[in-house]
Structure 1
Amino acid sequence: MTDDAYLFLVDDPAETLGVPPAEVGPPACMETPAVRAWLDAQGVSALSPRLRLVSPEETEAIEEGAERLPVPLGEEELSRLRHRTAPQALAAVEGELLAYRDCAHGRDELLARALAAGVAPHRIAELTGEDLRAVRAAATR
């Protein structure tokens, strides 16, 4: 396994391995000189239906001899790629986890702000569903 994701070309656009880069953002690497030069050398555009992106753990599935290029992805880009290529049942649960992460982001700061504003700890616990101990602990952070 490699640490890089890979751009690669498929012969048949119906191929299911990987995803078109536009479906994950598109990733920032698509604007690098190396990727643009590789696309030019292959005679394809960034929107080609033959162009795919695969995560590091899936690179071994790329067909032997396929044109490929290692590309670095940011953490968020890699997360979107993995989410997009997960089986549908897993993707649904992953979507819920991402929503949870997004709404839980800044949780401790919000709890501390509420305490500082004078909202009673038991009321914060009631409103948020957080454990009262977690609410009180936020005051010491």
Structure 2
Amino acid sequence: MTDDAYLFLLDDATITLGVSPAAVGDLACMDTPAVRAWLAAQDSSAASPLLRLLPPEERGAVPEGAERLPVPLSEEELARVRRQAAPAALADVEEELLAYRDSADGRDELIGRALAAGVSPHRVVELTGVDPTTVTAAAGR
């Protein structure tokens, strides 16, 4: 398990902060008594358009005063949340980085494109498994 992500309820369904848990697919935490009880206490459901989820590193974006609940996610679940929350161009490059793990062909060019698209160096290291110095070297080209 990773650091806790946050489920929270928005006041306005037009706000596009975080991701809908339903859009991410099956999440083990959604079937826990704690989440079910929290949703019931909020008079809400897992299908509510007001229910949103943010990864741990974005928990500061949860609106002040919003009803929130920390939830544990597996590494795979967290990766799905991050991909769903990322802008399309960023998510596409991250998918390429994941596919790259087993191939070194075009590595430096791909890492350079990912960095240029806004993927952080530490995230490139996580997604590719390459050494941080390799990422730094690719950034300089």
- Return the alpha-carbon distance in structure 2 between the equivalents of residues 63 and 98 of structure 1: 31
Gaps of 5+ in 1: 105-141
- Return the alpha-carbon distance in structure 2 between the equivalents of residues 27 and 44 of structure 1: 17
- Return the alpha-carbon distance in structure 2 between the equivalents of residues 37 and 17 of structure 1: 23
- Return the alpha-carbon distance in structure 2 between the equivalents of residues 49 and 98 of structure 1: 30
Which stretch shows the higher mean deviation, 15-24 or 64-73? 15-24
Structure 1 pair 12–69 and aligned structure 2 pair: CA distance change class (3 A): same
Larger radius of gyration: 1
Task: Give runs of ≥4 in structure 1 deviating > 4 Å.
Answer: none
Residue aligning to 1:61: 61
Question: In structure 2, the residue corresponding to 1:14 is in which secondary structure?
Answer: coil
Question: In structure 2, the residue corresponding to 1:8 is in which secondary structure?
Answer: strand
The two structures, once aligned, show a CA RMSD in angstroms of 1.8
Residue aligning to 2:36: 36
Matching residue's letter, 1:57: E
Question: In structure 1, the residue corresponding to 2:16 is in which secondary structure?
Answer: coil
Residue aligning to 2:4: 4
Percent same amino acid at aligned positions?
70
Residue aligning to 2:86: 86
Per-residue CA deviation, residues 5-37 of structure 1 (Å, 9 max, x unaligned), is 000000111211110101112311000000000
Matching residue's letter, 1:18: G
- Return the alpha-carbon distance in structure 2 between the equivalents of residues 99 and 3 of structure 1: 25
- Return the alpha-carbon distance in structure 2 between the equivalents of residues 59 and 28 of structure 1: 20
- Return the alpha-carbon distance in structure 2 between the equivalents of residues 76 and 55 of structure 1: 12
Residue aligning to 1:131: none
- Return the alpha-carbon distance in structure 2 between the equivalents of residues 100 and 37 of structure 1: 41
